[in-house]
Amino acid sequence: MDTEAVRQSRGSVRLGHFLNTYFRSAGSPDLQTIRPALWNSVPPDAKDAAYWNLVLEQYTLYVEMADRVSARRGTANVFFLTLNTSVFTAVGVLGQNPPDGPKVLLIVPWLVLVGQCLAWFWLLRSYRQLNSAKYAVVGAIEEQLPVSPYWRAEWAALGEGKDPARYWPLSHVEQWIPFFFAVAYTAGFITLLLS
């Protein structure tokens, strides 16, 4: 086989691996994997009220922790949205009186802006992965409780996120915002270079 073809093939595999690793969204963790790792011992007799009170207390704390992760994700979104809105405002003001000098120097701020859009995307992705795992654990705990408000009931009421007209998961929508900012920065950069 031609060495150039082999190099191109390896490059395609590396690029595919990179994109798969850093941009693909995986589904929720499998409950079959979570169940054996969740319980420390075989639960005692179901009549042991102290044990089940402790399970309920831990469940309540864990759901609260999952909610805090969602709140932190919201705070991160507000930070990046404010930052990017400020940048757009600054670019609008500077656009009225552009600085003199070689336009190619604009590559540095463009790289910084696209880099922070990538960081924003990866941060959102990380929060989504963390919440997916947390809510899968919540579901595994709910299997032992008399009711399953989140894992079965709410998710079923939302059509399991399969119909966007019924429910479109926020994590699917918010991941596009950094992408749109990166595209806008790139389009603006190219426009300035070509003008």
pLDDT digit string (tens) for 138-182?
Answer: 988 988 888 888 878 888 888 887 888 888 877 778 888 999 999
Question: Mean pLDDT score of the chain, rounded to an integer?
Answer: 83
The conformation of residue 160, written as its DSSP 8-state character, comes to G
The pLDDT, as a whole number, for residue 59 is 92
How does pLDDT run across 113-125, given as a tens digit for each residue?
999 999 999 999 9
Contacts of 159 (CB under 8 A, 6+ apart): 166, 167
Could you read off the pLDDT of 73-100 as tens digits, one per residue?
999 999 999 999 999 888 888 777 776 7
In the numeric block, the tokens 């910084």 are attached to 112
Q: What pLDDT score was predicted for residue 10?
A: 67
Q: What is the pLDDT of residue 46?
A: 62
Dihedral over alpha carbons 183, 185, 186, 192 (to 10 degrees): 140
Per DSSP, 105 falls in state G
Residue 51 has a pLDDT of 82
Percent of the chain with pLDDT over 90: 30
Which pTM value belongs to this model?
Answer: 0.77
